[in-house]
Structure 1
Amino acid sequence: MSDRASELSALLSSAALVMVGGIVASVAKLGERVVIGRLLSPDAYGEVSIGLAMLTFTSTIALAGCTQGVSRFIPRYDSDTDRRGVWVSGLLITAGFALVISLVLFAYAETVAGMLFETPEAVIFVQLLALSLPFLVGFRIAVAGIRGYENTVFRTIVHDFLEPFLRIGLIAGLILAGMGIVAAGVAYLATAILTFVVAHLLLSRLMRLRGAFRTHARELLRFSAPLVVATVIGTMLTRTDTLMLGYFRSSYEVGMYDAAYPIAGGLLVVLSAFGFLYLPIASRLDSNGDRDAVDDIYATTTKWVYVITFPAFALLVVFPTEVIHIVFGPDYTEAAAVLPILAVGFFVSAAAGRDRETLSALGATTWIAVGNVFGLTLNVLINLVLIPRYGFMGAGVASVTSLLSVHVVVCGVLAIKYGITPLSKSATRTYVGLPVVLLPLVALASPWISISMVTLFPFLVVAGLCSLVVVGLVGGLEADDVVVLDLIEDSTGLSIPFVRGWIPDSQSVDPLSTEWTDQ
């Protein structure tokens, strides 16, 4: 098998593991929101959502784009001295930012609480989140180091299992003990400290943390500087809606919006699974001068993210009320109105693939910042116009518009400047065929379909099988897809000759290697 086929196979194999972990983590994170939403009132849930949006925003600033930098540079060095130096540089840079932000946030907690919150307990809540910030940032750097070593097992253990399940258990117990919104602050602080320690213990299994090191702070900052703007603005794109809702409207509306938001965000699970190893692999291929391989891997993974994500997208668009009732209960029925809107935005993000990571691997991080600045500007302007008048529905429209604009810019740069695009003829048939064929069919059948806890999973399975049939019938399969089929057959021990018959022979479709003609 060719080198690029091997890289694609490795990426897909890791994606299978990370996807399982990602699904578990997403369910746990959604479960965290469900626990808070069901054990507290919608108003209190809105207050917690505002606090967590603030923590996400401040931690992104403190990380200064260094997580991608650490993951990118570690695989580019061979010696432990250099690799250790990359980790140390990232840790020192982000620790400095985190401590400053933490001290300011702790000192001005009362002022922040007065601007965004409605309850007196918010001051302690904000202070607890401020204390957790340095540990959370250190944890992210450790995970970035693990990612640089392309180790999916350690990342899955600490990021997808330990962190979310520990936090959800603490939140549930502390809320039941009567701590209110403060319970979330205590849980986040305790979880950040423990996961910081565990992540570094796992990283120490990949390289000795003690020993000589050669710092790469200047190199790391040069790469990460544009990402500071890009990542901060990217976070603001997803969290500005919540913060502006908290400022202009009530905590109740924030609670409605943040009931729909994490459900729609679940559409990114598959994309995240492909993303863990994508950046270091793409970076290594680019450093070896094999940009065509980057194009192939980007195109293939993007198409399969689209195909695998589509059934869940159809579910959220056609059955929003049923999904909200299953997850959060009848108190959050109003959130069903904004769920299809948010689902469109997140599905667009999934359908664009790892476009921003591809630019990062190529070293073109400035363009990521340009796209995010453009998207954030639209987001703020639309929110200013729509939130005061339409509340969380306006926030949903602003979110979708801004996400669309970002991916138009980034994908446009990839296509025009680097000739990298997922839009082959076969892939385009997939992108058009699935929504044109399946969405109307699901909508027409919806009066006879009952979505509940029992029927939810069977619906997704049937819709997924139908998606594969549609992709095959419209001619959406390509020679590259044989790697995906091989992975499925090797993992399950089953032969899938019917689908294999739809995959064109590699000789007729710009082969990746001559060995593929024998498949």
Structure 2
Amino acid sequence: MVARERELSALLSSAAIVMVGGIIGSGATLAERVVIGRLLSPDAYGEISVGLALLNVGVTVALVGCTQGVSRYIPRYDAVEDRRGVWISGLLVTTVSSVCLSAVLFLFADPIVSGLFETEAAVPLVRLLAVAIPFVACFRIAVAGIRGHENTIYRTLTRNLLDPLLRIGLLTVLLLSGVGIAAAGVAYLGGAIVTLVVAHAFLSRLMPLRGRYRTHVPELLRFSAPLVVSTVISILLTRTDTLMLGYFRSSYEVGMYDAAYPIAGGLLVVLSAFGFLYLPLVSRLDDDGDRDAVDEIYATTTKWVYVVTFPAFLLLVVFPLDVIHLVFGTAYTDAARVLPILATGFFLSAAAGRNRETLSALGSTTWIAVGNVVGLLLNIGINVALIPRYGAVGAAVASVTSLVAVHTVICSVLAVRYDITPISPEALRCYVALPAVLLPLAFALSPWLSITVVTIGPVLVGVGLASLVVAGLVGGLESNDVVVLDLLEDAAGVSVPMLRRWIPSSGDEDLDAKSPN
């Protein structure tokens, strides 16, 4: 029990550090969208959204799965010649693939624009984003090398701070100068070039980049190539809605959808924070044959992702119009129709926990691909059926349905094959009680409460405290939760004795297990 608490404490401590960077990065990404949305019309914002969706898909294809390969193989070698060779191998593969893809997008920009965009002004945007693909892809390889050295600080500085902040600065200056939608292309290209240089400067502090090297291209490709399909499918799951909206409907509707999407996507910040150490930790526990510990850590972390994320979910579902007006302004009022739908989908994703990483650690990566394929096919089918008639609302329904399908497949495999689930009796009480108690109360109070710059902080804190109280009152806390409480108290510098009384000790649980029913 002590060993498991120590593992959980290390995971939570890492998650807290990474979550700070994730919150900053998500905030910066949202700020970038806000700058575009407030300085341009909703139609122009929609055009840029389609362009950025193309960029994301292009970079994902160009990387050929090499980011995971570089991060995996660098720590496996002691010799600097091999570590340097892994990084160089990643750069070689990525440079060749990204330059080829960039050339195709650049040359076929006109037909792409005629199919997905509403104005010929998007041609320069697509061509600039095409040129940016090799720089963004090579920057990601540098970050993968930094991750391979298990350095969270340099990764956070480059990926979560420098990259988005550079783009925001360039976008603001260019849009205020009247450049138009092409400003996004210039900002992404300029930001990627600078960040590429800085990321490699940081990487050079972890290993010398000049010197002898042994390349590992075949080894890297053998590991990375199978990941291409699942990685591309994953990114298509998040961007197909935008691309199909651009094809079937107007840029205005794309703008409404992509105003709500990044706000709802912020619900995954807490879940993402557990990703840095979760996979290696669970892999080690499985290698030791301790499946019970895997189940316990998966259930505990998932429950707390749910509890911590719930206040933001409540805010987006009960006050969608206030949130949209606060972030993007009154020109994006129609986005409030899709925000609660998307928020539900992302919240359910958070409630499933790190199920993909858990299944990966157990060696069943094929089922992850199966889940993603099922989700993508469902997504495309529902989009084709609903977008022509219902527009952005139809796209949101497709997104939620596909996300639920993916997590249903993966969680079912974990439960049936490995008897691992995110649902303990205590967690189930939390999952049911929080929305059952707090959502009706929030809806009842909503006519007398509005979300503004002044009220949003107190409302989130109030709902967060109420969530902890409800979890305690319904018996949703268990002995492992003392590790979480210790971390929260250390971070806040305050003691929460009332909540600690609701956490049973390990001895109490053992007695309960031995006592007759």
TM superposition shift of 1:376: 0.4
Q: Is the CA contact 1:223–1:365 (under 8 Å) kept in the aligned structure 2?
A: no
Segments of structure 1 that go 5 or more residues without pairing to the other structure are 512-519
Query: Against the structure 1 CA distance between its residues 413 and 455, is the aligned structure 2 distance closer, same or farther, given a 3 Å change threshold?
Result: same
TM superposition shift of 1:285: 4.1
Report the 3-state secondary structure (helix = DSSP H, G, I; strand = E; otherwise coil) of the residue aligned with 1:205: helix
TM superposition shift of 1:181: 0.5
TM-score, normalised by the number of residues in structure 1 = 0.93
Aligned to 1:517: none
Aligned to 1:314: 314
TM superposition shift of 1:220: 3.6
| Partner Cα distance (2:178, 2:132) in 1 | 21
Aligned to 1:37: 37
TM superposition shift of 1:484: 1.2
Alignment of 1:201-350 (within 5 A): 201-350=201-350
TM superposition shift of 1:82: 4.4
Report the 3-state secondary structure (helix = DSSP H, G, I; strand = E; otherwise coil) of the residue aligned with 1:276: helix
- Which amino acid is 2:282 matched to? A
Aligned to 1:398: 398
Alignment of 1:89-100 (within 5 A): 89-100=89-100
When structure 1 is superposed on structure 2, of 27-36 and 493-502 the one drifting more is 493-502
Aligned to 1:515: none
TM-score, normalised by the number of residues in structure 2 = 0.94
Query: Against the structure 1 CA distance between its residues 358 and 83, is the aligned structure 2 distance closer, same or farther, given a 3 Å change threshold?
Result: farther
- Which amino acid is 1:129 matched to? L
- Which amino acid is 1:350 matched to? A
Aligned to 1:117: 117
| Partner Cα distance (2:278, 2:249) in 1 | 40
TM superposition shift of 1:219: 4.1
Query: Against the structure 1 CA distance between its residues 473 and 85, is the aligned structure 2 distance closer, same or farther, given a 3 Å change threshold?
Result: farther
Aligned to 2:478: 478
| Partner Cα distance (1:500, 1:79) in 2 | 49
Report the 3-state secondary structure (helix = DSSP H, G, I; strand = E; otherwise coil) of the residue aligned with 1:479: coil
TM superposition shift of 1:443: 1.0
When structure 1 is superposed on structure 2, of 353-362 and 321-330 the one drifting more is 353-362
Confirm whether residue 496 of structure 1 aligns to residue 493 of structure 2. Answer: no
Q: Is the CA contact 2:66–2:221 (under 8 Å) kept in the aligned structure 1?
A: yes
When structure 1 is superposed on structure 2, of 214-223 and 114-123 the one drifting more is 214-223
TM superposition shift of 1:485: 1.6
Report the 3-state secondary structure (helix = DSSP H, G, I; strand = E; otherwise coil) of the residue aligned with 1:190: helix
Runs of 4+ in 1 over 6 A off after TM superposition: none
Q: Is the CA contact 1:72–1:283 (under 8 Å) kept in the aligned structure 2?
A: no
TM superposition shift of 1:107: 1.3
Q: Is the CA contact 1:227–1:366 (under 8 Å) kept in the aligned structure 2?
A: no
- Which amino acid is 1:322 matched to? D
Aligned to 1:436: 436
TM superposition shift of 1:284: 4.3
| Partner Cα distance (2:199, 2:326) in 1 | 34
Aligned to 2:409: 409
Aligned to 1:386: 386
Q: Is the CA contact 2:142–2:199 (under 8 Å) kept in the aligned structure 1?
A: yes
Q: Is the CA contact 1:227–1:368 (under 8 Å) kept in the aligned structure 2?
A: no
Report the 3-state secondary structure (helix = DSSP H, G, I; strand = E; otherwise coil) of the residue aligned with 2:274: helix
Report the 3-state secondary structure (helix = DSSP H, G, I; strand = E; otherwise coil) of the residue aligned with 1:166: helix
| Partner Cα distance (2:359, 2:146) in 1 | 21
| Partner Cα distance (1:71, 1:432) in 2 | 39
When structure 1 is superposed on structure 2, of 273-282 and 251-260 the one drifting more is 273-282
| Partner Cα distance (1:85, 1:479) in 2 | 46
Instruction: Give the aligned CA root-mean-square deviation in angstroms.
Output: 2.0
TM superposition shift of 1:276: 2.6
Q: How many residues align?
A: 511
TM superposition shift of 1:183: 0.4
Confirm whether residue 131 of structure 1 aligns to residue 131 of structure 2. Answer: yes
Q: Is the CA contact 1:282–1:361 (under 8 Å) kept in the aligned structure 2?
A: yes
TM superposition shift of 1:317: 0.6
Query: Against the structure 1 CA distance between its residues 67 and 411, is the aligned structure 2 distance closer, same or farther, given a 3 Å change threshold?
Result: farther
Aligned to 2:514: none
Aligned to 2:27: 27
- Which amino acid is 2:424 matched to? S
Aligned to 1:445: 445
Q: Is the CA contact 2:109–2:127 (under 8 Å) kept in the aligned structure 1?
A: yes
- Which amino acid is 2:350 matched to? A
Query: Against the structure 1 CA distance between its residues 397 and 283, is the aligned structure 2 distance closer, same or farther, given a 3 Å change threshold?
Result: same
TM superposition shift of 1:486: 1.8
| Partner Cα distance (2:359, 2:88) in 1 | 25
Aligned to 1:360: 360
Query: Against the structure 1 CA distance between its residues 34 and 49, is the aligned structure 2 distance closer, same or farther, given a 3 Å change threshold?
Result: same
When structure 1 is superposed on structure 2, of 223-232 and 422-431 the one drifting more is 223-232
Aligned to 2:65: 65
Aligned to 2:144: 144
When structure 1 is superposed on structure 2, of 17-26 and 366-375 the one drifting more is 17-26
TM superposition shift of 1:504: 1.4
Segments of structure 2 that go 5 or more residues without pairing to the other structure are 512-517
Report the 3-state secondary structure (helix = DSSP H, G, I; strand = E; otherwise coil) of the residue aligned with 1:12: helix
- Which amino acid is 2:206 matched to? L
TM superposition shift of 1:47: 0.3
Aligned to 1:516: none
User: In the TM superposition, what whole-angstrom CA distance separates every residue of 1:158-204 from its partner, at most 9, and x where no partner exists?
Assistant: 11111111111110110111110010000000111111121222222
When structure 1 is superposed on structure 2, of 460-469 and 220-229 the one drifting more is 220-229
When structure 1 is superposed on structure 2, of 484-493 and 472-481 the one drifting more is 484-493
User: In the TM superposition, what whole-angstrom CA distance separates every residue of 1:327-360 from its partner, at most 9, and x where no partner exists?
Assistant: 1111111111111010111111111111112223
Aligned to 1:199: 199
- Which amino acid is 1:415 matched to? A
Query: Against the structure 1 CA distance between its residues 148 and 352, is the aligned structure 2 distance closer, same or farther, given a 3 Å change threshold?
Result: farther
| Partner Cα distance (2:3, 2:190) in 1 | 44
- Which amino acid is 1:380 matched to? I
- Which amino acid is 2:185 matched to? G
Query: Against the structure 1 CA distance between its residues 15 and 438, is the aligned structure 2 distance closer, same or farther, given a 3 Å change threshold?
Result: same
- Which amino acid is 1:34 matched to? V
TM superposition shift of 1:497: 2.0
| Partner Cα distance (1:147, 1:270) in 2 | 19
| Partner Cα distance (1:122, 1:203) in 2 | 36
TM superposition shift of 1:368: 1.4
Q: Is the CA contact 2:326–2:452 (under 8 Å) kept in the aligned structure 1?
A: yes
- Which amino acid is 1:374 matched to? V
User: In the TM superposition, what whole-angstrom CA distance separates every residue of 1:242-273 from its partner, at most 9, and x where no partner exists?
Assistant: 10010011111111111111111111111112
User: In the TM superposition, what whole-angstrom CA distance separates every residue of 1:206-239 from its partner, at most 9, and x where no partner exists?
Assistant: 2333345454444443433332111111111111
- Which amino acid is 2:375 matched to? G
| Partner Cα distance (2:100, 2:436) in 1 | 51
Alignment of 1:150-165 (within 5 A): 150-165=150-165
Aligned to 2:107: 107
TM superposition shift of 1:441: 1.1
| Partner Cα distance (1:461, 1:66) in 2 | 41
Report the 3-state secondary structure (helix = DSSP H, G, I; strand = E; otherwise coil) of the residue aligned with 1:204: helix
User: In the TM superposition, what whole-angstrom CA distance separates every residue of 1:90-137 from its partner, at most 9, and x where no partner exists?
Assistant: 333322221211111111112211211122221111111111111111
| Partner Cα distance (1:441, 1:312) in 2 | 15
| Partner Cα distance (2:224, 2:414) in 1 | 19
| Partner Cα distance (1:293, 1:218) in 2 | 36
| Partner Cα distance (1:292, 1:226) in 2 | 30
| Partner Cα distance (2:380, 2:429) in 1 | 35
Report the 3-state secondary structure (helix = DSSP H, G, I; strand = E; otherwise coil) of the residue aligned with 1:452: coil
| Partner Cα distance (1:259, 1:204) in 2 | 38
